[in-house]
Amino acid sequence: MKNIYASIITVGDELLIGQTIDTNSAWIAQQLNQFGILIKHRIAVADLALDIINAINFECANSDLIIITGGLGPTNDDITKQTLCDYFQDTLVMNETVLAHNTLLFAKRNRPMIEANIAQAMVPSTCTVLYNNFGTAPGMLFEKEKKIFISLPGVPLEMKSILQDYGFDFVKQFFTTANVQHYSLSTAGRGESFIAVTLQNFEASLPSNIKLAYLPKLGTLTLRLTGLDVSTVEIENYFHQLQTLVLPYCYANEDISLPEAVYKLLLEKNKTWCTAESCTGGSIADAITNIKGSSSVFKGSIIAYSNEVKINVLGVAAHLIERHTATSELVAIEMASQVLKICKTDYSISITGNLEKTEQEEAFAWIAVCNKDSHKSIKVPLPYDRIKNKELAVNVALNFLRMFILE
């Protein structure tokens, strides 16, 4: 089967001056990959007609599907729609459905509709309109010489909803793609190179239409098997082999974050937890409370960024800090044990350390976990910069708690 290729053209000066980081392209690529369409190129161009047309012509030579985002706003610098209209030798006509939707939107927001806003409801006469439920610029789909061109607003929410509600269905019907199956699992505690050695023979045994991908983040590694036109039985067989090989490090048989896995585990066990954070300054609590529903298991935290708070609020003995330092194992254990009592939870995590290396030593953190009967502690070297070290420490701490609960 012939591969289907897509190119993504992002239009907008803000992408070229470095003001905006392009997260749209990564999302579109992930979605298209899910149903077997490969990305050939991603290209960012300015709000200039010639640049947009040059990019479209360049991508037409490579790809079957051209997705263009951005440049559909109501202001003068937004020229994507007119450029596409010229490119397809078409004329703009009023789309009454879009106009009615936009009129309603303006009425709801209690804002007057000026001429430029009305013009947003005009579309090239030959395009298929992909309705925008969250904004005023509709998506537009064109067909030409067995290729599809989709123009979308650059606002992530609008772009995503247009593709999910209308665009992807059209694409799936139009192209015959390979049957793609993904099986993912998430690991923590071992780096990419360690896991790669563990999986060397397994990887060599894979047939050519099943690929293994390593998707590393700080402190976690997702492994993904992708099968092209394979039977479910066959790929599930390989996935079970993979699960067995990385069993000690696997925290979920799906691609989820560690905060989510810890949340699910505690929910399942009907247990609560809390944290006492020094060096991470609240990022463990922040990570867990990013998850909707986390309040059913996570009760709170004491961020003891100063010794006074460690002593007066957490109740760590001052002599312990004096004798062993605030970043010692014993202080970490005491922090975990105290916060467990203060917040009255089933489990707790504590963390104390230095996020940045000093003249004397490399950056590190002591992490402790406990319940009412026992505790465990671990020292973690932190080899990155301040911000990345925080992120790594959060994941190591969450995995440490996860393993402690499962013991």
Q: Which residues form the interface with its own copies (CB under 8 A)?
A: 15-23, 25-31, 33, 38-46, 51, 54-55, 58, 62, 213, 215, 274-275, 277, 280-286, 288-290, 292, 294-295, 298-306, 308-309, 312-313, 342-344, 356, 386-387, 390
Q: How far is the CB of 194 from its own copies (least distance, A)?
A: 13
**Other Cβ atoms within 10 Å of 270 Cβ, number:** 9
Cβ proximity to its own copies, 97 vs 296, nearer residue: 296
Cβ proximity to its own copies, 39 vs 228, nearer residue: 39
**Can you tell me the distance from the alpha carbon of 111 to that of 118, in angstroms, rounded to the nearest whole number?**
13
Q: Which residues contact 167 (CB under 8 A, 6 or more apart)?
A: 130, 139, 141, 150, 152
DSSP class of residue 353 equals E
Cβ proximity to its own copies, 376 vs 388, nearer residue: 388
List the beta bridge partners of residue 37.
Answer: 4
- Exposed e or buried b for every residue in 184-218, given b needs 16+ CB within 10 A? bbbbbbeeeeebeeebeeeeeebeeebeeeeeeee
Q: Which residues contact 394 (CB under 8 A, 6 or more apart)?
A: 219, 258, 259, 280, 283, 284, 287
Q: How far is the CB of 25 from its own copies (least distance, A)?
A: 7
Among candidate residues 239, 241, 254, 238, the one with its CA nearest the CA of residue 187: 254
**Can you tell me the distance from the alpha carbon of 11 to that of 149, in angstroms, rounded to the nearest whole number?**
14
Cβ proximity to its own copies, 36 vs 124, nearer residue: 36
**Can you tell me the distance from the alpha carbon of 184 to that of 182, in angstroms, rounded to the nearest whole number?**
6
Contact 404, 376 (CB under 8 A): yes
Cβ proximity to its own copies, 205 vs 290, nearer residue: 290
Q: How far is the CB of 266 from its own copies (least distance, A)?
A: 13
Q: How far is the CB of 284 from its own copies (least distance, A)?
A: 8
Q: How far is the CB of 39 from its own copies (least distance, A)?
A: 4
Cβ proximity to its own copies, 95 vs 226, nearer residue: 226
Number of Cα atoms under 13 Å in the Cβ half of residue 290: 11
Q: How far is the CB of 346 from its own copies (least distance, A)?
A: 13
Q: How far is the CB of 297 from its own copies (least distance, A)?
A: 10
Among candidate residues 339, 231, 230, the one with its CA nearest the CA of residue 277: 339
Cβ proximity to its own copies, 149 vs 298, nearer residue: 298
